Structure 1
């Protein structure tokens, strides 16, 4: 059956399942019919999300698709992140302004570091009278008055602000009272306003997300937050009493989510807090960490004691709240969390033992929220780690494998170890199964395991679509791939799919080969070390950009992330193929 013979209605149904990026990549510029169908879909759908969209398709969108849609779009998402550098600047350079989107209800902007661009956005923002949802993610705002613009929006209900670190001091108390804002995500204890002042200016606030790493945070709270019904807390190194101080002042909370990196509240304290201060609580989700400085037997006994404290009728019968505790006898770290697990990241610090208050039935449902999975182990225990059967993840998008020392996979060609190689291939064949089973996986990071990507090519990987590879080690564990190894990477299944590659290479020829042979490569984050004596590391700014322009027909962009402070961090090439 020919693709063109299928009815338009079927294609429009298929389009509903695709992101804007995938839609443009798969169907744009095929023929006039599909271009019209794309426009029809966008007119009906009215939601545009250009994250992860290649520059070619973004330019096509600006010139051919957006003009007739401007007054119809209700949701717009733009980003300047690693996948789409300068996308928001390009939006303005094509003559568009946010003011033109007269029906816009949802606006999400990410990684805006330019003050000039941010000024344009803030100027336009006050004209978006229909806006109900606003997100600024990793944006650099250096004005003290910007928050007043946000609080003046007449229909704004949801506001999320994850600032660039330099902007935290510029979140002042709004001068205006917003009678519409009900949800604030990303409040930080480093802001120039306090939680008390913020809630006074937002009397309808129902949901609040707080991140706290200041040791003095929230120690002087003197008021109750009666309007808040949903609270999300991320506590890093904050004092334990500060956490308790907040939990004692939210009498109407029904949903509570707490992530603590350095504290653990035991079951009895939780129970007293809930029964006395949070009587309306229906949903409790937490993740806590504690350390037991003892041998494995005592650690196991301590874990059993902690888990058993959550087995009384209050937890199991009245609320049906269940917990699980994982521990590593080597690191002596213990992680206790409610199940189902509701956080997007999970670290398997192997060797991992677990104890839970719930039955093991349907255990695979416990980790459906996890998108980022990290295996922290040694080369000797990696096989056992990858074959864990009591924990199942079904929605992993980013996988990191981090090998600690000693790592017997770090052999060199002149010191080939057949036993280590056999062990490594067993691990890679098991990893192949993991990759093939996780159909949502798009990003893979090998940390201190440089030979993995080389030997993985010997495994017959099928039905895997991984677009991002990170092959860079950590400080003290640098590994620079040779021209021969780069050629091997480029010809591998993962190399041919790769769009974003982070790698360290030995010379400029490697960069040339990677770009020329990896046809889907859009972004190359590279550090280059020449073999010439005393040459050290070469930066794109000094030599590499000019070398590429003189040798290949590719336009490299040296746009850099402002958060990077040294050239030793590497330099990015944004590749536009001519």
Structure 2
């Protein structure tokens, strides 16, 4: 007779197990295992409801059973694949019912909905707040900006994420805050704004932003640079912006106690951005306490770029300062076909990386020799852009003796036209397929290569047990556009729940909705210069029984399905 020991564990241990499960697993699996588990799930007080990506029927069902007094974290999203979700949520709940909420994330939220949550946040006990209103014109309603300021001032936040239009960020009045220790701003800020934030945030230790925008001539001689430094800041990250060493040096004058600095963005070949000697002097003069410096700096060069410069650049990072004192492993790659220069530290400090499948497409130099633990250097890469080019020798695949990328969740596979032989064998050799959740293809379905493409992608989908999103960024134009939905249907696997696909006409839309039964939502893209009857699209969608919501954006329709 089979004896289960799991249901005999103390409630405290089972609650600890639930801490490591997502809410859908708790509600739809654990809760229905037995009466005792049902009771334990009902008494669990640390629910994290993340609705960023969810089937609408499940969203509505979960809203019917959501124990709002037991929820500590809530994520709501109005992105394209769940558009209108926040409005539905507000129609079903009063956010003030969530009395134990400590974390609130709002994605692509509109102004009128934002006000509701900010009024709640001011009086709440939130410790983490994330607001993404990048597409919302909140500067037209000063009350929204004022509410954000009041929330920052009066809420006992420890962590704050802000993403809004640059103009709104500029108009936001930063208040005095005595609790925030972590701040992430997805925008550029001026040195004046940086100074104000530091001045008003005595507990702030970590700040992440895009870059420092000091183009305004009025900021060239700001009095803040004569101010006493702010010693509370220990970590500074600039990502996805411009890395301008002269302007960065000015702002670092305010933060001499930094122990960690990370820079990810576009540099300039003519402004010392790739000069290790210049960075060495900056760190010695401005950041005497710095323990770790991570960076990934890129730049496009002219077509006649001298590839011998790669070795010259890396030589400036071979000094005792970089090798012996900072133990900084630096690599410089020049991608020949795209005329792109990359200078980066290892282990990789960003979750994005672009990889070419043959060394004949790039020139590389390093300030270190390869070691046994080199296989772990790319573990931070989550989003990988893999350019497949024709192998000069298929034996190149066999030269790879370890997985280069072990934690990639969202690879994009791109080709320049054809599809190289043994492509699946190659990317399954360098990438661990098990963590992949999203696969994007940037390819042409040319008749000559279609059979091998279908075979390779079908293999990849079958060998990736956790993949559920497929995006097809097909390189089609009006003169070679052809419907390939039946081809896609022949290679897609049942685990795919979200599909982003380019279509030609309403027949493609109808075929996909009627035949791709496992899909939860679909984005239908179309080429802008094609003659497309948008009214026919809407008519077909209206006749379909599966869809519940439709959202139109630029050259695309997003359909949120009611069942799968």
Residue 491 of structure 1 and its aligned partner are, at CA, apart by: 4.3
Residue 5 of structure 1 and its aligned partner are, at CA, apart by: 8.6
CA distance in 2, matches of 1:498, 1:467: 4
Match of 1:507 among 505, 508, 516: 505
Question: In the alignment, which residue of structure 2 is the partner of 1:153?
Answer: 154
CA distance in 1, matches of 2:386, 2:463: 22
Question: In the alignment, which residue of structure 2 is the partner of 1:338?
Answer: 345
Contact kept in structure 1, 2:547 and 2:561, CA below 8 Å = yes
Going from structure 1 to structure 2, the CA distance change for 1:546 and 1:24 (only over 3 Å counts) comes to farther
Question: In the alignment, which residue of structure 1 is the partner of 2:405?
Answer: 393
Contact kept in structure 2, 1:234 and 1:259, CA below 8 Å = yes
Going from structure 1 to structure 2, the CA distance change for 1:51 and 1:21 (only over 3 Å counts) comes to farther
- The TM-score normalised by the length of structure 1 is 0.82
Question: In the alignment, which residue of structure 2 is the partner of 1:252?
Answer: 257
Question: In the alignment, which residue of structure 1 is the partner of 2:556?
Answer: 570
Higher relative contact order (Cα pairs below 8 Å, separated by 6+ residues): 2
Residue 20 of structure 1 and its aligned partner are, at CA, apart by: 2.1
Question: In the alignment, which residue of structure 2 is the partner of 1:281?
Answer: 290
Contact kept in structure 1, 2:261 and 2:294, CA below 8 Å = yes
Q: Confirm or deny that 1:441 pairs with 2:427.
A: no
Question: In the alignment, which residue of structure 2 is the partner of 1:368?
Answer: 379
CA distance in 1, matches of 2:399, 2:474: 25
CA distance in 1, matches of 2:480, 2:123: 52
Residue 55 of structure 1 and its aligned partner are, at CA, apart by: 2.1
Contact kept in structure 2, 1:230 and 1:253, CA below 8 Å = yes
Match of 2:231 among 213, 226, 229: 226
- Give the gaps of 5 or more residues in structure 1: 410-422
Contact kept in structure 2, 1:472 and 1:478, CA below 8 Å = no
| Count of residue pairs brought into register by the alignment | 534
Q: Confirm or deny that 1:125 pairs with 2:121.
A: yes
CA distance in 2, matches of 1:400, 1:157: 35
Contact kept in structure 2, 1:447 and 1:472, CA below 8 Å = yes
- Give the gaps of 5 or more residues in structure 2: none
CA distance in 1, matches of 2:163, 2:85: 19
Contact kept in structure 2, 1:168 and 1:190, CA below 8 Å = no
Residue 268 of structure 1 and its aligned partner are, at CA, apart by: 1.0
1:541-552 equivalences in 2 (<5 Å): 542-550=535-543, 552=544
Contact kept in structure 2, 1:323 and 1:336, CA below 8 Å = yes
Question: In the alignment, which residue of structure 1 is the partner of 2:202?
Answer: 203
Question: In the alignment, which residue of structure 2 is the partner of 1:52?
Answer: 53
Contact kept in structure 1, 2:71 and 2:98, CA below 8 Å = yes
1:249-328 equivalences in 2 (<5 Å): 249-263=254-268, 264-290=273-299, 293=302, 298-299=306-307, 301-328=308-335
Question: What CA deviation, in whole Å up to 9, does each residue of 1:384-408 have, x standing for no partner?
Answer: 998783871111011112223xx24
Aligned partner of residue 549 in structure 1, secondary structure: helix
- Supply the RMSD in Å over aligned alpha carbons: 3.5
Residue 119 of structure 1 and its aligned partner are, at CA, apart by: 1.7
Going from structure 1 to structure 2, the CA distance change for 1:291 and 1:521 (only over 3 Å counts) comes to closer
Residue 343 of structure 1 and its aligned partner are, at CA, apart by: 0.6
Residue 535 of structure 1 and its aligned partner are, at CA, apart by: 8.3
Contact kept in structure 1, 2:55 and 2:563, CA below 8 Å = no
1:34-113 equivalences in 2 (<5 Å): 35-40=38-43, 43-66=44-67, 70-97=68-95, 99-112=96-109
CA distance in 2, matches of 1:214, 1:516: 50
Residue 475 of structure 1 and its aligned partner are, at CA, apart by: 6.9
Per mean C-alpha deviation after superposition, the further-off stretch among 143-152 and 234-243 is 234-243
Contact kept in structure 2, 1:504 and 1:528, CA below 8 Å = yes
